[in-house]
Each structure stands twice: as C-alpha cells, then as structure tokens.
C-alpha cells in the first residue's frame, strides 16, 4: 500500500499553463501519475500536451473526477488556489509554492480545519509526495526512488527528502511513500500526521524521519512515537552546528533560546526509542540493517 496517494489518484494541476506547473506537471505525467486536468482562469478550453485545461477546479473535478490537486502558482495566488481546491471537494492538495506569507498560511490552515476538514494540505514550500511506481505529485525526481517498500519516509527538508530516497535506492531498499512536509512555520501536514498514516499502513514496516532545527514538531513526533508507533524509526536532525537565533534556510528553521535545537530534538527522539543517526548516509545504512531483520 501507500499513504495519501496511489496509482488511482487523479490529479489536477493548478497553474499547468505556467512555466513551473507545466514542467513539473508533465514530469509527473511522464512518471505515470494520472494528470487528468489543468486549471488556469481564463484559459479554459486549451490543453497542454493532451491535458485539458479548465477555468476552475470545480469544472475540472466535474469533468474528470480529479481527487488531488498540485498547486504550482505564485505566492500571491497560492492561498486562494488552495481554498478553491478545498471548495471543489478535493481531498488532497499539494502546494509546492515557496514564499507564501506566514499569515496567509495560518489563515488557510485554520479555514481548512474549520470549513473543509475533509481536505488535507501538504506543504506549502515542500517537494511534494511520491509513492514510487504508483504516483508522484510535486518536484521529486522519480528516478531516485525505488518502489516496493517496506520503508516510509517523512522529511521537512526537500534536499534531505531526495537524499533519503537515493541513499535507500543505492542500498536496494524500496519505499512505500515519501512525504516532504516542507519547512515553513505553518505546514498543512506534520510529522505526527505522517507517522500515524505509516503506522496504519500494513506495507510500511519501518519509518525514516528527517527533521531540522526550529519549532517543536520533532519533539511532538517523539512523544507520538513513544505512545503510538510500534514500527522501527530512524531519524536524522539537521542543524547541529547552527548558532542560536539564526534562521537556517527554512522560515521555520530558527532556534529560539534553548528551544528548537537539534540536540534537544535528538534527545527527545532517542528517549522515545528512535534510532538517531549523525548524517543522512548513516540513516540509510541503519535503515538497511533494520530492513534485513524484518
């Protein structure tokens, strides 16, 4: 199995006629993802290499039965695009857009919780999600992912998402689903959401988790793992050498006083029984060792 998406997922690309939407949407299609429609207001009736374009998400859903959206629009239009997908009844929305103001993210998150609880948002500012061999929504290169499981991956960092996939592929370890949750302060989907889904997935037998400095999501994940997760977890936390108070790459990767440090996160995860390693390569090696014993 896989989590959130599978080979039957039908995807509408919001922004398919734009440069980024076209490039990544068609790459997803070439991978085998069922890209059934695009949406660009005012360009309904056109098509992009055989993919029909509609003016609204509601029209696209009505015509194609799309049940997932890939939002690839500029920051100023991203919040509205996410909410349009939710209003159209899309249950899973992936937003890769970087640079959305934090207050827009917070507003959209709360509107989804309040009015559209049936819609899950992944991102924004994330690489997306891939269930190797089945479906790829976002900007992850499908070539670096080995299908078949039994490992599930969840990561805040896009770059570490790619490295995690490739490290495991080199070791011959397959992946059920890899989820890049993004590094912004208000993610639509967090570590606990993914850990819970992986715990419930019968084909995912082990979990790799890649975190970073800033916030308290890794500590929350550690608490959840200790109480709810029975599968082995390997974790790497980026930012051990980051100076306090300095933002490191992501908007959410900032240490406030003694909170959010890599060391605090590593200690919390270790206390929860997680195999904490010192770099991404070690994570792959440790996971390969665990898989051999499953």
Residues 175-216 pLDDT 10s? 999 999 998 889 999 999 999 999 999 999 999 999 988 888
Backbone angles phi, psi at 54, to 5 degrees: -120, 160
Span 235-294, pLDDT tens digits = 999 877 666 665 555 655 555 555 578 899 999 999 999 999 999 999 999 999 999 999
- Round to whole Å and give the CA distance between 20 and 33: 17
Token reading at 200: 């419930």
Please state, as a whole number, how many other Cβ atoms lie within 10 Å of the Cβ of residue 159: 14
At the top level of CATH, the class of 141-293 is alpha beta
Q: Across the strands, what pairs with 52? A: 47
Is the fold of 10-122 the same as that of 141-293? Answer: yes
Tell me which residue of 294, 11, 280 sits closest to 153, measured CA to CA.
280
Residues carrying an active site annotation? 250
Cβ neighbourhood burial of 294 (10 Å; 0-12, 13-18, 19+) = exposed
Spans of all domains in the chain: 10-122, 141-293
What does the alpha-carbon distance between residue 237 and residue 280 come to, in Å, rounded to a whole number?
9
Domain 10-122, second-level architecture? 3-Layer(aba) Sandwich (3.40)
What does pLDDT average to over the chain?
94
CA atoms within 13 A on the CB side of 14: 34
């Amino acid at each position: 199995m896989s989590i959130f998406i599978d080979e039957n997922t039908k995807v509408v690309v919001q922004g398919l006629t734009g440069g980024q939407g076209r490039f990544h949407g068609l790459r997803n299609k070439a991978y085998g993802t069922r890209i059934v429609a695009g949406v660009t207001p005012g360009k309904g009736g056109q098509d992009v290499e055989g993919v029909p374009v509609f003016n609204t998400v509601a029209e696209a859903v009505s015509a194609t039965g799309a049940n997932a959206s890939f939002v690839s629009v500029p920051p100023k239009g991203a919040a509205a695009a996410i909410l349009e997908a939710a209003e159209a009844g899309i249950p899973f929305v992936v937003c890769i857009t970087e640079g959305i103001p934090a207050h827009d993210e917070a507003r959209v998150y709360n509107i989804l919780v309040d009015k559209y609880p049936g819609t899950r948002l992944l991102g924004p500012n994330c690489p997306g999600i891939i269930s190797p061999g089945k479906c790829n929504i976002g900007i992850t290169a499908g070539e670096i992912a080995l299908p078949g499981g039994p490992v599930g991956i969840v990561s805040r960092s896009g770059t570490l998402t790619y490295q995690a996939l490739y490290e495991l592929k080199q070791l011959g370890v397959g992946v059920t689903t890899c989820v890049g949750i993004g590094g912004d302060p208000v993610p639509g989907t967090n570590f606990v959401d993914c850990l819970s889904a992986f715990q419930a997935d019968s084909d995912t037998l082990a979990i790799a988790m890649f975190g970073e400095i800033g916030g308290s999501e890794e500590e929350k994940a550690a608490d959840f793992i200790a109480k709810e997760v029975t599968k082995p977890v390997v974790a790497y936390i980026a930012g051990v050498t980051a100076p306090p108070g300095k933002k490191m790459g992501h908007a959410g990767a900032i240490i406030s006083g003694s909170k959010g440090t890599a060391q605090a996160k590593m200690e919390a995860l270790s206390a929860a029984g997680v195999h904490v390693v010192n770099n991404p390569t070690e994570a792959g090696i440790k996971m390969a060792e665990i898989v051999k014993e499953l």
